[in-house]
Every structure is written in structure tokens, then in C-alpha cells.
Homo-oligomer: A and B are copies of this chain.
Amino acid sequence: MALLRALRYFVEEAFISLWRSRLIHAVSIGTIAVSLLVLGTFLTVASNLHAAVAEWSRKIQIVLYLEDGLEGRIRESLERRLAGDPAVAGVEHVTQEEALRRFRRLFPDLQRLPEDLGENPFPASLEVTVRADQDALANVDRLVVEYTQAPGVEQVQYDSLWIRRLNTAIQLVRWIGGFLGGILVIASVFTISNVIRLTAYTRQDELDIMRLVGATRAYVQGPFVVEGVIQGGLGGLAGVGLLWLAFRMLVGRALASSDLLGRAVVFLPIQLAAAIVIGGMVVGIVGSLVSLRRMPV
């Protein structure tokens, strides 16, 4: 009963304090929200990039263009040889007609161009998918050299340089993301304990008076801890909410429908979003306890 009353008092006091200096708390919750928003943005980008890269890696392709009018037998032996290579994940035969169809699908504006030229200009090809593992790039190099001179192969085309550049870019994003992410988690803890310290500081007189009329330390500090939890939680909610809004307005609309990134862009999984909010609350508790640590008796 007494414990319940004390708890009710903590919550009431926390809300009174939040309401009485609502401007300052709005600003502080905003600051926390922005920190968590930035963190959330990176998590979103990172999770999407990670998925996209996984997808793209699965698509590293070498295209073997075949000589015109190649015998089916030779083509089949090529296919068999490729399929037997441990580095190869799959082989697909693209006929001249299929190549033309693809061209028409990709460039609707130029629909009639091939016909104007009078003849199907696209060669048949074998599209080789390389297994997405650590040696993928080395394997691409080896395969290219190996099949450039193979019977029936006119020309080998591959994506190696772009893939290298992309890998560099991804590595860069990971480094920056990790760096900023780490700093921002620290910044959030900083911000909350900062605000609570200042809140306690603005009420130092009151806290002294409470102790002098016989309030226990726990009783004096309780409302601050609850206030920290509420601030952290609201900041986290606001951050995730803003992130979701921004996602819908900017990224979602522009990219969700197109598949230029290789796949649909998705929001943070619900668990991660919840983790941000709960993380905010935990940080609130820790921040308030840290800031109240050195209170005298």
C-alpha cells in the first residue's frame, strides 16, 4: 500500500514536472528524438543496403556471347562445363529472340529500332551467375580468362570494376554508419543525463528542503527516475515516428515501387523500432541514476 502510494507519487510528480516546465522538456525530448532519429536512419539505411548488397551479390554475372549460328551441341558442352565449375551458381541460355525481347522491355522508346536495322542485332548468350562467396571476385576474373578463348564464345562481358567500386562504397557506408552510430548512442545517453542533471539542478533547493523535512533519498529521487524513463520513452517514440514519416514521404514513395535498388526499400523491422524506444527508456533510467548519484543525505 505504502509502496503503491510512493509509486503513484513518483509518476504524478514526474508528470507534474514534465507539464510545469513543458517547454524545456519538449525541447529535451526533441533532442533525444533527433538523436534516436539519426540512429534509426542509419539502421534503416544499413539494413536496406545490407539486403540490397546480398541481393546484388547473388547477381554477379558473366555473360558469354555466343558466335552466330553456333551448333547446339557445342553450346550444351559449354553449359555442362560451366555448370561443373565449383564457382558457378547457375547458367542460363538466352536466345537471340529472348535478347531482342529483353531489349524491347528495357527500352520501350526504341521499340522499332532493331526492325529499322532490318535484322536481329543481338547475339545469343549464356548468363553465368557466380556463387556469392568471399572469392566471388577472384572467380569472376578466372572464369573470364578461361572462357574468353573457349570454342563458340565470341566475347565475355563482366561487371568486375563496378562491383569493386560498389564494394568499396559499401565498406565506406559501414564504417561511417558504425562510427556515427556509436557516437550517437553515447550522445543520447549524454543528452538524457544532461537534461536530468539540469532538471535536478534547477530544483536543487527543493530537493534540499525535501531531505530536511525527512524524505528518504529514494523518495526524493524516484520522480526523477520516472521522469527520465518518460523522457527517454517519448523521445524514442517521437524518433521512430519521425523516421517512419520521413520514410513514407521521402524514401518510400520514390523507391518502394521502382526496383532500381535491386529490391523494395523496407522500414526497420518492428523489433528494432521497439528496441529503440525501450533503449530510450533504459538510457533514461541510467541517465537519471547517473545524474543523481552524488546527492547528499
Q: Which residues of A contact B (CB under 8 A)?
A: 21, 23-24, 27-28, 30-31, 34-35, 37-38, 41, 45, 56, 65, 107, 110, 113-114, 117, 119, 121-123, 141-142, 145, 148-149, 154-155, 157, 159, 162, 164-166, 168-169, 172, 175-176, 179-180, 183-184, 186-187, 190-191, 193-195, 197-198, 201-202, 246, 250-251, 254-255, 258, 260-262
Chain B residues near A37: list those with CB within 8 A: 183
A180 and B145 within 8 A (CB): no
B34 and A113 within 8 A (CB): no
Chain B residues near A179: list those with CB within 8 A: 41, 246, 250
Taking the full assembly, how many copies of this chain does it contain? Answer: 2
Chain B residues near A254: list those with CB within 8 A: 175
Which listed residue, B122, B141, B176, B197, touches A45 by the CB 8 Å rule?
B176
A31 and B194 within 8 A (CB): yes
Nearest 7 CB-CB pairs, A to B?
A162-B162, A34-B187, A168-B260, A155-B155, A121-B148, A27-B194, A198-B198
B260 and A197 within 8 A (CB): no
Which listed residue, B34, B113, B194, touches A28 by the CB 8 Å rule?
B194
